[in-house]
Amino acid sequence: MSTRSEAEDAPDSPDESLALAYTHRGLTYPLGRSGPEPGQLLPLADGVGWTRSPVPGSLGHINLWMLDDDGGEVAIVDSGLDSAPARDAWEALLGGPLAGRPASRILVTHFHPDHVGLAGWLAERFGVRLWMSRGEWLFARMLTADRRDAPPPEAIAYWRAAGWDEVRIAAEVAKGWGRFASAVSEIPVSYVRLQDGERIRIGRREWRIVIGSGHSPEHACLVDEAGGLMIAGDQVLPRITSNVSLSLSEPEADPLGEWLDSIARLRELPGDLLVLPSHGEPFTGLHARLDALDGGHRRQLDALHAHLAEPRRAVDCFGVLFGRRIDDRMLGLATGEAMAHLRRLEVEGRAVRDVRDGTHFYSQA
Ligand SMILES: [Zn+2]
C-alpha cells in the first residue's frame, strides 16, 4: 500500500480506500461474482473481452479490457503492474487467446501503477501509441523521472502537518524514495491525448471520454451509450470505495470536493449501463452505487465534523473515519484520506486550521 498520499511513491496499488466499503445494495452482477484468471480472456459483450492481471495485497487483481479494433487488431485498456507475475499473465494471453492478434493501441484510465505499469512495455512491444489524458500522462512521466534517493523536504512537512511523530518520520525517510518507478515500465515520451467529451471509434463501437477527478488528477472513463457499456476504471467500483487522498504535490487542493463533483457528473449517465470496473465484477446499478458513494462520504464528513469539537490532527481522526486500528503499513494511505476529509471540511467552511510547529490542528468553524 501507499506510504504517502496519492500513490505517488507506492510500489503497488493504492486504489482501495481504508474506509469500510459503502453498501453495494441495488447492484446486480450479470456475469456473476467471479472473473477470468490471468491469461484467460472472457467474452463480455460484442467485441469486448475481459482478463485479469495479478496485483499483490487485498485487491488481488486488476481487470483489463480488450476491445476489438479494425483489421482483427485489439485495443488494450489498462495494463497491469510491472511485475513478473503480471508479465507472465501477458505472455499467457498473447500466446493463447490473443495469439496472432496485434495490439492497435494502449489506452490507460489513470496513472496508478496497476493501470499504467506495463503500458510502455506493451506500446514498445507492438510499436503502437499510448492513449491517456494529459494530466495522467504527465503524472506518470513526472513520477517515473523523480529519481532522488531521499524524500524531499515537502514530504517531511506533509507528514509533520498530519501529526506524525519524529520517530515515524525518520522511519519513513529511511525507506528512501522512488518506488513508483520500480512498478512502472518506461512511459513513452509521446502519447495521444484523451479529452473530456471526445468520441473515439474503436472497431464497431464509439466511446465517449468522461473525465473524473479526486482519485487521480484526470481519470478517463470510456462510455459507449449506444452499446450500453461503461469502462469505469477506479472512478466507480462496486464493493470497495476508491482511495481519495490529499496529495503531496497539491497539499492545498480539495480532492474530495473534486470526487463528489465527479460523482454528480457521472449521475447524468444512463442508469442502465453495464459498468466495467477495474476491481471486482461488471455490474449494473450505476446510480445506486453513485448514491451510496456520495452518501457514504457525506456521512463521514458529518462524523468527522462532530469529532472536531476539540482540535484534532489527521492522525487523531483515524478511528472516526476508518473504525479500525491503523498499522504502519496503512499509515500513509490513512493519512492521505484523513487529510482529504479535513481539507474538505475546511473548504466547506465547517472547519478551521491552526498550524502549530508545522502540525495542522483542525477544529469546528
Ligand atoms: Zn487508481
234 alpha carbon to ligand 1 midpoint, in Å? Answer: 5
What per-residue confidence (pLDDT) applies to 58? 82
What per-residue confidence (pLDDT) applies to 70? 97
- Find the domain containing 304 and state its range: 5-364
Q: At 321, which CATH number?
A: 3.60.15.10
363 alpha carbon to ligand 1 midpoint, in Å? Answer: 31
Comparing CA positions, the residue from 321, 346, 334 lying closest to residue 254 is: 346
What per-residue confidence (pLDDT) applies to 14? 59
What per-residue confidence (pLDDT) applies to 10? 44
354 alpha carbon to ligand 1 midpoint, in Å? Answer: 32
Number of domains in the chain: 1
What per-residue confidence (pLDDT) applies to 179? 84
Cα–Cα distance measured from residue 229 to residue 209, given in angstroms and rounded to the nearest whole number: 12
In Å, the largest CA–CA distance within the chain is 64
Cα dihedral value 307, 311, 313, 318, nearest 10: -20
Per-residue pLDDT of the chain (365 residues; tens, 9 = 90+): 233 333 444 434 456 676 655 556 789 999 988 999 999 999 999 999 999 999 998 889 999 999 999 999 999 999 999 999 999 999 999 999 999 999 999 999 999 999 999 999 999 999 999 999 999 999 999 999 988 889 999 999 999 999 999 999 999 999 999 888 889 999 999 999 999 999 999 999 999 999 999 999 999 999 999 999 999 999 999 988 999 999 999 999 999 999 999 999 999 999 999 999 999 999 999 999 999 999 999 999 999 999 999 999 999 999 999 988 898 888 999 999 999 999 999 999 999 999 999 999 999 99
Q: What is the three-state SS of the chain?
A: CCCCHHHCCCCCCCCECCCCCCCCCCCECCCCCCCCCCCCCEEEECCEEEEEEECCCCCCEEEEEEEECHHHCEEEECCCCCCHHHHHHHHHHHHCCCCCCCEEEEECCCCCHHHHCCHHHHHHHHCCCEEEEHHHHHHHHHHHHCCCCCCCHHHHHHHHHHCCCHHHHHHHHHCCCCHHHHCCCCCCCCCEEECCCCEEEECCEEEEEEEECCCCCCEEEEEECCCCEEEEECCCCCCCCECCCCCCCCCCCCHHHHHHHHHHHHCCCCCCCEEEECCCCCEECHHHHHHHHHHHHHHHHHHHHHHCCCCECHHHHHHHHHCCCCCHHHHHHHHHHHHHHHHHHHHCCCEEEEEECCEEEEEEC
What per-residue confidence (pLDDT) applies to 25? 74
100 alpha carbon to ligand 1 midpoint, in Å? Answer: 31
All cell numbers assigned to 147? 529519481
19 alpha carbon to ligand 1 midpoint, in Å? Answer: 15
7 alpha carbon to ligand 1 midpoint, in Å? Answer: 8
